[in-house]
Amino acid sequence: MRKGRMKKGTSVVLTAAMALTALSGLGAPVKAEAADAGGSYTDYSEGFPETVTIQIPVYDRAFEGWNVTDNYYTKWIQQEFGDKYNVKVEYVAIGRTTEVQDYMQLIAAGNAPDIIFHYDMPQAVNYYSQGAMQALDLDEIAYYAPDYFASMGDTIQKYGQMDGENVFFFAERDAIYYNWVTLIRQDWLDAVNMEMPTNREELNNVLAAWKDAGLGQWSEQLIQKSFTYEYPFFDEGITDEEYALYLDLNVAPLTWKPTEDFLRAWNKEYNEGLIDPEFYLNVEEPDAKADFVSGKSGVFSFYINNSTDVITSLLANDPDAKVSVMNPAAKSPTGKSYYYEYPPYGMIMGINNTTTDEERAAVWMFLNWMAQPENLFCLQNGVEGENYTLDESGIAVPVADFAGESKLSQNNNKDYWCLVAEVATYGDEEKNYQANLRTLAPAGYEDLIQQSYDYDQANREYGVVTPIFTKTVESSTEYASDLNAMWQEFYVDLVTCSTDEFDQKYADYCQEYLDGGYQAILDEKQALLDEGSYIAE
């Protein structure tokens, strides 16, 4: 008998330990002894005496036909967790591409949800520096969320401190990288008799051949945040101190040599007509996606999953289209695919400074409930017999084209379960891979996941870990917004200017950027490095 699957006609069925214990990504749900936690805490295991409302953020990715705050799964969560403990679970939509703006407005108005989250540490620190988060009692977390804390306690204690206070808690991450892919038009490669490019020069040759054949260009999304554009231009000569100073997901390192090399390459490619002359209009991912499915662009980067409509939309416009996964080394001049290596945690979270003691306790209980293998498995896979079937290995096999009431969101409901796990995992790499072939690949396109996995394995040595400062970089909080506005203006101009203007413009913009606050950030980071206020893996 297997436990822990949502079955048709029932809400939750218990799960067999062997089948699903590993699925949570949080280890076996060994019941930690809450009595071991220090302090005196009220027992709410039988429910709160008065209804407690918790507000939980959820990304709104503008999936067509999907209401992020009111759907089958939000109702199921209320029924299975909320009603049991007399907790009203309210979801608050946070725009995926406007999340910082959304959160800052909510924080300023005093209306932010009880959990304030972000995937990138610099921005999470920025929220903290705004006074939006309260200090955490780790014993309290252990009391109300013993299973969650048994798995994540060490990570919270190591990475969750700022300025000597416990501030952040995390989702677990069993990192995979092959779910991020750049699709390339294989039929276009075939049409110009060219192989998959393995470095930047070869990629430019492909783009030039496409241009000559009248096929299409290279188009990407405007770079506005999560700055990792420079990674393909790294080399072995970069020191650890340089990485610590310049790597920053929240502030673009305009003055750094890899950025200059990136901008110079794009400027050359722009002036040669190899990239979309209006790339800067692709403000959001759907804009770049539209270019790809319409045949305007021959490449598109995104997180792939089995419910994506990218390929079906492309085929609707061009039934003869074929796609492959582009070798990530194609973006690098040296063919060495340096990449952002994830820290050992997923979502970074803090508790709203206005959250009450009871609301905070309910949040911890909610995390502990979600961390249970049977609940997490339901959120990740849906209803057995409708959304999926189980194979002989206990792996969920998605039912192709399922469109019933319990249909998952286009990213497999991740925006709900990302509070406790970054990826679905079976606790075994080979089993995870077999499962991901099904959950990541659109039906009939399993070879795309195989291609991406092979590239991932070949490039493992090029991961770069970003050092984490344990004190607030106050100048970053002060200047990040203005510098981001400068970056968007400067980088677009540097890409689109004539090649003979580039050197002078770059020098002028770098000086303006430094004067606009970037020098203050570099100086403060250097001081923190000198005093040892950072964590480096």
Residues 374-405: tens digit of each pLDDT:
999 999 999 999 999 999 989 999 998 899 99
| pLDDT value for 262 | 98
Lowest pLDDT segment from 29-33, 246-250, 440-444? 29-33
Higher pLDDT, 404 or 32: 404
Q: What percent of the chain has pLDDT over 90?
A: 81
- In sequence order, the 6+-apart residues with CB closer than 8 A to the CB of 223 are 229, 252, 487, 488, 491
* Domain boundaries, given as residue ranges, for the chain: 6-174+344-427, 178-220+276-340+440-462, 240-257+264-274+467-537
Residue 259 has pLDDT above 60, yes or no: yes
- In sequence order, the 6+-apart residues with CB closer than 8 A to the CB of 363 are 54, 56, 114, 115, 351, 355
Cα–chain center distance at 276: 26
Neighbours of 471 (CB within 10 A): 16
pLDDT band at 2 (very low <50, low <70, confident <90, very high): very low
| pLDDT value for 369 | 99
Q: What percent of the chain has pLDDT over 70?
A: 93
Here the contacts of 492-497 (C-beta below 8 Å, separation 24 or greater) are 492/222, 492/280, 494/263, 494/266, 494/267, 495/263, 495/266, 495/267, 495/270, 495/279, 496/267, 496/270, 496/277, 496/280, 497/267
Q: Which residues of 491-524 are buried (b: 16+ CB within 10 A; e: fewer)?
A: bebbbbbeeeebeebbeebbeebeebbbebbbeb
| β-sheet bridge partners, residue 351 | 115
Q: Beta strand 165-166 with 161-162: parallel, antiparallel or unpaired?
A: antiparallel
What amino acid occupies position 498?
A: S
Neighbours of 346 (CB within 10 A): 23
Q: Put the strands of the sheet holding 388-390 in their side by side order.
A: 6-7, 383-384, 388-390, 396-398
| pLDDT value for 443 | 87
What does the pLDDT average to over 456-469? 93
Structure tokens at 144: 């109300």
Neighbours of 41 (CB within 10 A): 17
pLDDT band at 439 (very low <50, low <70, confident <90, very high): confident
Question: Each residue of 118-173: pLDDT tens digit?
Answer: 999 989 999 999 999 999 999 999 999 999 999 999 999 999 999 999 999 999 99
What does the pLDDT average to over 451-468? 94
Extended strands (E) in 279-347: 299-303, 323-325, 339-341
| pLDDT value for 536 | 78
Nearest to 138 by CA among 153, 124, 116: 153
| β-sheet bridge partners, residue 90 | 55
Structure tokens at 350: 């803090």
Residue 25 has pLDDT above 80, yes or no: no
Whole-angstrom distance, CA of residue 440 vs CA of residue 427: 17
Neighbours of 49 (CB within 10 A): 10
DSSP string, 245-287: HH--SSS--TTSHHHHHHHHHHHHHHHTT-B-TTGGG--SHHH
Question: Each residue of 341-368: pLDDT tens digit?
Answer: 999 999 999 999 999 999 999 999 999 9
Nearest to 406 by CA among 388, 425, 424: 388
| pLDDT value for 472 | 87
Identical fold, 6-174+344-427 and 178-220+276-340+440-462:
yes
pLDDT band at 15 (very low <50, low <70, confident <90, very high): very low
What average pLDDT does the structure give for the chain?
A: 91
What amino acid occupies position 531?
A: E
Whole-angstrom distance, CA of residue 281 vs CA of residue 288: 9
Residue 90 has pLDDT above 70, yes or no: yes
What kind of fold does domain 6-174+344-427 have according to CATH?
A: D-Maltodextrin-Binding Protein; domain 2 (3.40.190)
| pLDDT value for 537 | 67
| pLDDT value for 39 | 61
Question: Each residue of 265-298: pLDDT tens digit?
Answer: 999 999 999 999 999 999 989 999 999 999 999 9
Question: Each residue of 522-533: pLDDT tens digit?
Answer: 999 999 999 999
Are the beta carbons of 43 and 31 closer than 8 angstroms?
no
CATH superfamily of 178-220+276-340+440-462: Periplasmic binding protein-like II (3.40.190.10)
- In sequence order, the 6+-apart residues with CB closer than 8 A to the CB of 369 are 80, 81, 375
For residue 58, CA distances in Å to 66, 148, 158, 469, 482 come to 12, 20, 26, 27, 27
**Rounded to the nearest 10 degrees, how much is the dihedral formed by the CA atoms of 443, 448, 449, 451?**
160
Are the beta carbons of 8 and 386 closer than 8 angstroms?
yes
pTM for the structure as a whole: 0.79
